[in-house]
Amino acid sequence: MTGLPPLPSAQGLCEGMLAALASMPAPAGAEFTSGLEHDLADAFSSRHAIAVSSGTTALHAALSAIGIGPGDEVLVPALTVVMTAAPVVLLGATAVFIDSDPSTLDLDFADAAAKVTARTRAIVPVHLWGRMGDPASLRAFASEHGIAIVEDAAQAAGTSRAGATAGTVGAAGCFSLKDGKILWSGEGGFVLADDSQLAAHARAFRSHWLQPPAGSHPQERIALNGRLAEPLAALAHANLRRFPALLEHRRAQTAYLMRALDNARGLTPLQPASDETWNHYAPLFHIGLPSPRAFAEHLAQQEVPNSTGTFRLVPCDTRPMFTSTDRKLCRGTGQILDRTLALVLTERDDEAALNHYAAVIIREAAAWRT
C-alpha cells in the first residue's frame, strides 16, 4: 500500500504567535486579524473574510447579518451538530429541521419544500464530514422560495463541487478553526461574504457593535465580544500558509485508511459525488452489519474515535431542546447517522495509528454478531 506523505512541517507556527505576543498590550490592535482576513479572502476567492472566536460565532454573526430575528424560521438539516441550530435560537428565530437523503447525504429538497412557510427566511446547509451537496439544487431551491443561504462549512474547508467552493455558494459561509479541523487555530472561526454591508454587520456584531476607526460611530446596537484573539489569528494565518499541504495530508490519510479497510466485513466506503472535490475530512463507511450504531459505539470503546460512537451524534431534531410532539422526525437523517461510520482523524495520525485503527476495525467487524 502507498505510504503516507510526512506531516507538513510545523515550523513557522510559533513565530507569528510570538510576534503577536510581543505586540501586546495593544487593546485596540487587530494587525494579525486583518492580515489573516486579507489572506482568507484571497484563499477562498471571497470579497470579505471576517475572523471570529468560533464557528458558532461565525454562524451567529452571519445569521444576524442577513437579518434573522424573532418570528423568523430557518431551515436547518437535522443532520448536524447542535452548534448549527443554537445561533438561530439565540436570535429569537425557530430552527425548522429538514431531512437528508440517505443515498447522497444531500438535503432532501422535497422535505425542505414541504416545510417552507411565509416566515421562512433562510436555509443553512451543513457540509458535514466535509461532504457538500449539489450547489445548483441548493441555489435553485433558495431562489424559488426567496430565501437566503448561509452555509455551515465548519468541516468543509477545501471542499468544492461543480466549480463552487464550500462556503461561497450563498450570502455567507461559516467556518470553524477549532483544533481538529484541517485549518485550525485551537479556537476560532470566520465568515466569508461578498456583500459589503453583510460583512460590515458581521464585523460590528463580533465586537460590541464598535465600528472602526475607534470612536467614529455611535454604538447603535448591543452586541457581544466574538473577536478572535490576536495570537490565535497569527496561528491561523501560519496554518493558512500550510493549508494546501494540510489538505493534501488529510486526503492522503483518509484515502490510506479507506484502502486499508477495503475488505472489512460489512463496511462499504461512501464515495463523494462525481463532481465533488472532497476535502476527505473523515473516512466514511456505510455499516452493513447488525445493530450498526452499537457497532460504532463498540469501536469507540476500542478507542477508534468516530462521530456517532464517540461523540453520540444524533439527529438534531431528536435533541431534548428541540423535540416536539407535533413534528415528524427526520427519518432519513436517523438512517444516515445510525448506519454511517465516520472516523475522526487528526493531522498527527501517522501510518502506525491508521494501521492500528484498520486492524481493530477489521477484527471487530469480523467478530460482530449483535
- Interacting residue ranges for ligand PLP, rule: CB under 6 A: 54-56, 80-81, 83-84, 126, 128, 152, 154-155, 176, 178, 189
d(CA 100, CA 197): 32
d(CA 317, CA 334): 10
Name every residue whose Cβ is closer than 8 Å to that of residue 118 and which is 6 or more positions away in sequence.
none
Minimum distance from residue 58 beta carbon to ligand PLP (Å): 8
Minimum distance from residue 144 beta carbon to ligand PLP (Å): 25
d(CA 170, CA 194): 9
Q: Which CB, 261 or 334, lies closer to ligand PLP? A: 334
CA nearest neighbour of 127 among 176, 92, 73: 176
Q: Which CB, 128 or 204, lies closer to ligand PLP? A: 128
Residue 166, C-alpha cell as written in the block: 464550500
Q: Which CB, 58 or 193, lies closer to ligand PLP? A: 58
Signed CA dihedral, 208, 214, 215, 218: sign only: negative
CA nearest neighbour of 123 among 86, 184, 171: 171
Q: Active site includes 181?
A: yes
3-class secondary-structure state, position 342: strand
What are the backbone angles phi and psi of residue 176, rounded to the nearest 5°? -110, 145
**Out of 115, 178, 181, 328, which one is annotated catalytic?**
181
Minimum distance from residue 316 beta carbon to ligand PLP (Å): 10
How many degrees, rounded to 5, is the angle at CA 228 between CA 222 and CA 230?
A: 125
Q: Which CB, 66 or 126, lies closer to ligand PLP? A: 126
Minimum distance from residue 264 beta carbon to ligand PLP (Å): 26
d(CA 202, CA 32): 18
Bridge partner residues of 268 (DSSP): 286
Name every residue whose Cβ is closer than 8 Å to that of residue 270 and which is 6 or more positions away in sequence.
105, 131, 284, 285, 286, 340
99 residue type, one letter: D
Minimum distance from residue 207 beta carbon to ligand PLP (Å): 17
Q: Which CB, 96 or 261, lies closer to ligand PLP? A: 96
CA nearest neighbour of 204 among 26, 52, 91, 54: 52
Residue nearest to ligand PLP (CB): 55
Q: What is the DSSP letter of 316?
A: G
Minimum distance from residue 220 beta carbon to ligand PLP (Å): 27
Q: Which CB, 56 or 340, lies closer to ligand PLP? A: 56
Residues with catalytic roles: 181
